Structures are given as C-alpha cells and as structure tokens.
C-alpha cells in the first residue's frame, strides 16, 4: 500500500471491509456517501432487501500538519446503521438488529489498519429513532488520518 491515502481510499477500504464480513448477508446494503442514487439504494435496502443498511461517510477534516505542503488531516468517519424494524425482523429480513450490527461494525473497524500506518479509532455511538418511518439509526463515530493530496495538473 502506498503511503499517501486520501478520503477516496478510506471510503473504498471501509466499505470493502464491512462487505467482507461473513456475518452480514449479501442483502445488507453497505454503501459509501459518494454512491450515485444513494437515497434510492438506501430506501430499496430498507424496504425490500432485508431492512438493514450501513452507510459510511466522512464529516470534518482538521489539518494536523499546517506547515506541510500536503495537509495531513484528522478526519471523522461516520458509519450509520439503519434498520426498518418490521422488515428486518420479519420473514424476509436479515434478523440482525441494528444495535447488533452497530457492535459488529465497531468490532470490525476499531483499530483496523485500513492502510499502512493508518487505522480507525472508535470515538462514540449515537442513536436516533424516527417514529414516522419506523427506522432506528445508530451513528458510529470513528477518526483516522488522511492525506489531502490530489493531482492538480502542475
């Protein structure tokens, strides 16, 4: 693995890691924030493909190397686990409650070296329940270091 690792590398690595876990059946929707038609895919997974979805996205990136020509940033990574309870725990569901899926994600990602010299650190978990749509959501907050490198054409 090359030393330079960007947000794109991080997204791909986290999604691949979660998809590789044998505990999650193939029908569990696991997506990154940059996927086309993300809302469509999430709704499809929640309503038709088992009722459990896992979405990975990044939030804040804070420069930790202000004197470096290529900023190295501490980035917050959020893994959102959503469950449409009636579908997920019904006959066609995954039978994996969101709270259990969240624990699996924490166990799989905390301390995991997604690149040489780069690992994820679990920080906190938050919970939300949307009574109108009957969806429960767990938000898992991790952090890691990335490079803000890019080909700028010069």
Asked if the structure places residue 1 within a domain, the reply is no
Asked if the structure places residue 152 within a domain, the reply is no
| Residue-number span of the structural domain to which 113 is assigned | 7-147
Asked if the structure places residue 143 within a domain, the reply is yes
Asked if the structure places residue 97 within a domain, the reply is yes
Q: For 5-33, what is the mean pLDDT?
A: 90
Per-residue pLDDT tens over the stretch 131-144 = 777 789 999 999 99
Query: What's the confidence (pLDDT) of residue 152?
Result: 78
Q: Which helix (H) or strand (E) holds 43?
A: helix 38-47
Closest by Cα among 136, 138, 118 to 126: 138
Query: What's the confidence (pLDDT) of residue 3?
Result: 46
Asked if the structure places residue 154 within a domain, the reply is no
What's the rounded Cα separation, in Å, for the pair 23 and 18? 10
pTM of the model: 0.87
Asked if the structure places residue 131 within a domain, the reply is yes
What's the start-to-end Cα distance of the chain, in Å?
A: 25
Query: What's the confidence (pLDDT) of residue 1?
Result: 35
Model confidence band, residue 2 (pLDDT cutoffs 50, 70, 90): very low
Per-residue pLDDT tens over the stretch 30-81 = 988 765 666 777 777 677 667 888 999 888 899 999 999 988 899 999 999 9
Report the CATH number at residue 96: 3.30.2000.10
Q: For residue 154, give the 3-state DSSP assignment.
A: coil
Asked if the structure places residue 62 within a domain, the reply is yes
Asked if the structure places residue 27 within a domain, the reply is yes
Q: For 90-117, what is the mean pLDDT?
A: 93
Total domain count, the chain: 1
């Amino acid at each position: 693995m090359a030393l330079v690792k960007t947000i794109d590398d991080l997204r791909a690595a986290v999604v691949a890691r979660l998809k590789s876990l044998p505990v999650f059946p193939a029908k569990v929707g696991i997506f990154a924030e940059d996927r086309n038609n993300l809302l469509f895919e999430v709704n499809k997974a929640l309503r038709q493909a088992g009722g459990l979805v896992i979405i990975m996205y990044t939030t804040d990136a804070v420069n930790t190397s202000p004197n470096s020509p290529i900023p190295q940033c501490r980035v917050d990574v959020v893994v959102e686990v959503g469950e449409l309870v009636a579908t997920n725990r019904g006959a066609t569901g995954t039978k994996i409650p969101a709270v259990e899926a969240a624990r699996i994600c924490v166990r799989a990602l905390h301390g995991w070296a997604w690149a040489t010299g780069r690992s994820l650190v679990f920080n906190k978990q938050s919970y939300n329940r949307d009574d109108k749509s009957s969806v429960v959501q767990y938000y898992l907050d991790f952090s890691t270091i990335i490079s803000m490198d890019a080909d700028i054409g010069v």
